[in-house]
Structure 1
Amino acid sequence: MELDEAIMKRTSVRYFLEKPVPEEAIRKLIESAIRAPTASGLENWLFVVFRSEEARKKLYELIAEGMEVYYRAVNLPEEKIEKLRKRMYKEGMFRAPVYIAVFIDRRVRFLPGKEFDEVEFIWSVESASMAIQNLMLKAVELGLGTVYIGVTSFKGIEERVRELAGLDENHYLVGVIPVGYPRSEPKPRKRKKGVDDVTRFI
């Protein structure tokens, strides 16, 4: 598969088959992820793979909780939240055979001094984000679907995901990526803005 094809075919997949993802495929995803650029060559990312039934169930409940917080934050009515619960608990939205949680270790840094805390943190998150994109593109090549979950970063939820991963407060959760075989043929959506809308030449 050409890179351009993988880029154009990548889309957010929210429903997955109950089909195991081979460990070899998971390793290929992470191998692709760690080829991403990494600020100052630190490689201070960590990929925690949730694949046991118990761990996946606990993480899924935290995702569901985060989705509800998200819906309430934008003042959606109760009937919309009830539809969300139906999509998650009855239809299995975001329920996947594998979840990959991507963390950064904030202790691993290049520049000394508190004045660089913020920029070091931003660089680390950017590095992990590029790793996630590599992972998602490799998933397309392997016939797998992925979706980025950011609602696990809400206060009170991020801490519990971290604890579930067996990590301390020095680690920061950048995102959770459900991985699996799509339940139906993925259909990438068109972007609302074209190249000319988002580009400025100076």
Structure 2
Amino acid sequence: MELHDAILNRTSVRYFEEKNVPEEHVRELVEAAVRAPTASGLENWRFVVFGSKKAREKLYGLIAEGMIRYYRAVNLSDEKIEKLKTRMYESGMYRAPVYVAVFIDRRVRFLKGSEFDELEFIWSVESAAMAIQNLMLKAVELGLGTVYIGVTNFQGIEDEVRELAGLDENHYLVGVIPVGYPREEIQPRKRRKSIDEVLSFV
């Protein structure tokens, strides 16, 4: 598969088949992820794979809680929130055979001194985000679907994900990535804005 094709065919997949993802594929995803650029060469990312039924069910519950809190934060009606619950608990939205949680270790840094705390944090998150993109593009090549989950960062929920991952409070959760075989045909959506709307030459 050409990189161009992987980029154009990557899309957010929210429904997955009840089919296991081979461990070697998961390893290939992480191997692609760690080839991403990393600020100051620190490689201060950590990838935790939730594959056991118990861990996946616990994480799924936390994702559902995060989605409900997100919907409430944007003032959606109780009726729409109930529809979300139906899509999650009856239709299995975001229920995947594998979840990859991506963390950064905030203790691992290059610039010392509190005046660089925010900059070091931003660089680390950017590094992890680029790793996630690599992972998602590799997934396309392997016939897998992915979606980025950020609602697990709500206060309290992130703590539980971190505890489930067996990590301490020095680790910051950048995102959770459900991984699996798409249940439906993949149809990448068009971008709302044209290239001319987002591109400037100086």
TM-score by length of 2: 1.00
Q: Which runs of 4+ in 1 moved over 4 A?
A: none
| Counterpart position of 1:2 | 2
| Counterpart position of 1:200 | 200
The superposition leaves residues 19-58 of structure 1 with CA deviations (integer Å, 9 ceiling, x where unpaired) of 0000000000000000000000000000000000000000
Gaps of 5+ in 1: none
Q: Distance in 1 between matches of 2:74 and 2:127?
A: 29
Q: Does residue 63 in structure 1 map to residue 70 in structure 2?
A: no
In structure 2, what residue type is equivalent to 1:200?
Answer: S
In structure 1, what residue type is equivalent to 2:195?
Answer: V
Q: Distance in 2 between matches of 1:146 and 1:25?
A: 13
Q: C-alpha displacement at 1:6, in angstroms?
A: 0.2
| Counterpart position of 1:84 | 84
Q: C-alpha displacement at 1:69, in angstroms?
A: 0.2
Q: Please list, as runs of the form range in 1=range in 2, the aligned pairs for 1:55-134 lying within 5 A after superposition.
A: 55-134=55-134
Percent of aligned pairs with the same amino acid = 77
| Counterpart position of 1:23 | 23
Q: Distance in 2 between matches of 1:127 and 1:63?
A: 23
| Counterpart position of 1:145 | 145
Q: Please list, as runs of the form range in 1=range in 2, the aligned pairs for 1:151-170 lying within 5 A after superposition.
A: 151-170=151-170
Q: C-alpha displacement at 1:194, in angstroms?
A: 1.2
What is the aligned length?
Answer: 202
Q: Distance in 2 between matches of 1:45 and 1:194?
A: 33
Q: C-alpha displacement at 1:181, in angstroms?
A: 0.2
Q: Distance in 2 between matches of 1:146 and 1:157?
A: 21
Gaps of 5+ in 2: none
| Counterpart position of 1:46 | 46
In structure 2, what residue type is equivalent to 1:44?
Answer: N
In structure 2, what residue type is equivalent to 1:99?
Answer: Y
| Counterpart position of 1:37 | 37
Report SS of the residue matched to 1:115: helix
In structure 1, what residue type is equivalent to 2:57?
Answer: K
Report SS of the residue matched to 1:49: strand
In structure 2, what residue type is equivalent to 1:193?
Answer: K
Q: Please list, as runs of the form range in 1=range in 2, the aligned pairs for 1:154-193 lying within 5 A after superposition.
A: 154-193=154-193
In structure 1, what residue type is equivalent to 2:135?
Answer: L
Q: Distance in 2 between matches of 1:115 and 1:167?
A: 26
